[in-house]
Each structure stands twice: as C-alpha cells, then as structure tokens.
Amino acid sequence: MKKIRWGTLVAYIILALFAIITVFPFVYMILGGLMSFRETTTIPPTLIPKHFEWSNYAKVFSQAPFGRYFLNTFITASVTTIVSLFNALLGAFAMVNLKFKGKGVVQVVLLSLLMVPGEAIIFTNYNTIARMGLLNTYIGLVLPFLTSIFYMYYLQSYFGSISPTIYKAAMINGASDWEYIWKILVPMSKGGLFTVALLSFISGWNSFLWPLLVTNEDSMRLLNNGLTSFASDAGSETQLQLAAATLTVLPILILYFIFRKQIIRGVVRNDLKG
C-alpha cells in the first residue's frame, strides 16, 4: 500500500471540515422542517427531531397560498430565462461575427455598465415601473431582467472559441446570419447556452429584493417573499419557515443533479469543435 503523505491527509481533513460547514445548514433546514416549534427554538438546538412532523408541509400550503407562489416564481423565472438567453445569444453573435461602426465603443459602454451594481439602479427601475403602472404585474417582475450583459459576455467568450472560418464558410455557401445561428452556432454551443439558461433560471427562482419592491399583493408574491407569511406579531413559526424553505430549494437541487454534467461541460467548454 502506498503511504499517505501528511500534506495529502491534512488537505483531505480541511476539505472534509469545509464540506461539513457548507452542508450542515442545508441538512439542518431539512431536519428543522420536520421538527415541532419547540424543537426549533430550544437552546441548545435540537439536531434530530424526536418525531418527524410531516404535517408541517401540509400546513405550509394551508396557511399560505404556496402553490400560487410556486406558479408565480416558475412563470417569472421561465420568462426571464428564455428572453435573456435569446437576447444574449444575438448580442454575443453580433459582437463576435459582425463588423459595424462603433463596435468598440459599444463594447466599452456595455462593459462599463457591467461594473455598475444592481443595487445602484434598483430604485430608478422601481420608479420607472411605478410610473408605467406595472406594479403587481408579471411584466413589472420580469422587465428589468429580460437582458443581461454578463450572459452576453459569457457567450461572447464562448463563441470566440469557435473558428471564424466556419462563419465565413457558411456565408460563402449562401447561409444567412439567422441560419448560421440556429443551424451551426447553437448546436456547437449547447453547453454554454445550457449553462446560461440554468444560471438565469436559478437567479430568477431565487429573486427576493426586486419582487419585494414591486409587489404588495399576496397573489403576486414569489417563493422567497412568501416565507414571511409564517411570521406574525406573535413570532415566527420557524418549523413552517424551514419546511417552506426546503420546498423552495428542492426544484433547484433536482435541476442540478439532473444536469450537473451539462453544467460542468459548459464551464470547461470541452464540447466545442472546430
């Protein structure tokens, strides 16, 4: 048997410790959703419930319109994913393959906008949405997120790895830009496009601050905002909040475990050919 080096052993111990620290809050969230209120508030905290309170999940849907929250979140996340991916695809293609005047200026402007934090313009966006009368509407929830400079630059670096001779050959053979995008560029860039789509969907699913500003009706709330339904002047029902949080995270975990190979492939870009 090969001797284990002390450096390797220490590295594995450190990795194990960080893994426990990272995973523990998620595990406790799942277990806390199956505890009683008393168990979630005792000090020292209870780690394993004496009796699994499966009825907490039924109470989540009976005490708040959690099904409506799921529907609202799915609609807004899906719309922003589809539209932002389409816009990022066209924008990245134009920046990589097309030649036009002022292209460098456009790139500099977009890059400078990328450096502006979202919190700096969120109230300006709110005033715009309010003046347009789009508060408590799906349009108001998704409008500021229908395009993303970050996703465009990600796809731009991805498309830049494709040989420009492929685009020139397609033009020589009489293909239009539209045909090149859908018949050549998209099939060759499935990994990157899938990664952008998944990141956009996760971002929309986890949205909190913007929906909190533009919605004040219970029927238009999203999942993360709906967690406040289990808090009142008398205190928070922590066991229901943990159960609801588990339901909120579950769809994203399912997506990750199903498509984790595509995510890794899209990041390392090992599926590009040519």
- The answer to whether the beta carbons of residues 138 and 83 sit under 8 Å apart is no
Predicted confidence band of residue 126 (pLDDT cuts 50, 70, 90) = very high
- Tell me what the pLDDT averaged over the chain comes to: 85
The model's pLDDT over 137-147, given as tens digits with 9 standing for 90+, comes to 999 999 999 98
**Nearest Cα residue to 242 out of 43, 18, 71, 45:** 45
The model's pLDDT over 196-205, given as tens digits with 9 standing for 90+, comes to 898 899 889 9
Contact residues for 83 (Cβ-Cβ < 8 A; gap 6+): 142, 146, 147
Signed CA dihedral, 186, 189, 191, 193: sign only: negative
pLDDT over 70 percentage in the chain = 92
pLDDT of the residue at 189: 84
**Cα 200 to Cα 189: distance, rounded to the nearest angstrom:** 17
Predicted confidence band of residue 3 (pLDDT cuts 50, 70, 90) = low
Q: Is 152 exposed, middle or buried (0-12, 13-18, 19+ CB in 10 A)?
A: buried
Predicted confidence band of residue 269 (pLDDT cuts 50, 70, 90) = low
**Cα 201 to Cα 48: distance, rounded to the nearest angstrom:** 33
The model's pLDDT over 151-162, given as tens digits with 9 standing for 90+, comes to 998 898 888 888
Predicted confidence band of residue 131 (pLDDT cuts 50, 70, 90) = very high
The arithmetic mean of pLDDT across residues 246-261, rounded, is 84
| Domain parsing of the chain, residue ranges | 6-52, 65-272
**Cα 40 to Cα 111: distance, rounded to the nearest angstrom:** 46
The arithmetic mean of pLDDT across residues 256-262, rounded, is 78
**Range name among 74-78, 85-89, 220-224, 234-238 with the lowest pLDDT average:** 234-238
Helical residues (DSSP H) of the chain, grouped into ranges: 6-32, 37-41, 55-63, 66-97, 103-114, 122-131, 138-142, 149-159, 164-172, 177-180, 186-188, 190-205, 209-214, 223-226, 238-268
The model's pLDDT over 34-86, given as tens digits with 9 standing for 90+, comes to 888 888 888 887 888 888 888 888 888 888 888 899 999 999 999 999 999 99
pLDDT of the residue at 274: 40
Pick the CATH number of 65-272 from 1.10.3720.10, 1.20.1330.10, 1.25.40.20, 3.40.50.700: 1.10.3720.10
Instruction: With a cut of 60, say whether residue 272 has pLDDT above it.
Output: no
Instruction: With a cut of 60, say whether residue 227 has pLDDT above it.
Output: yes
**Cα 124 to Cα 116: distance, rounded to the nearest angstrom:** 13
Residue carrying the six token digits 């002047």: 233
The model's pLDDT over 172-204, given as tens digits with 9 standing for 90+, comes to 888 888 999 998 888 888 888 888 898 899 889
pLDDT of the residue at 233: 45
Instruction: With a cut of 70, say whether residue 234 has pLDDT above it.
Output: no
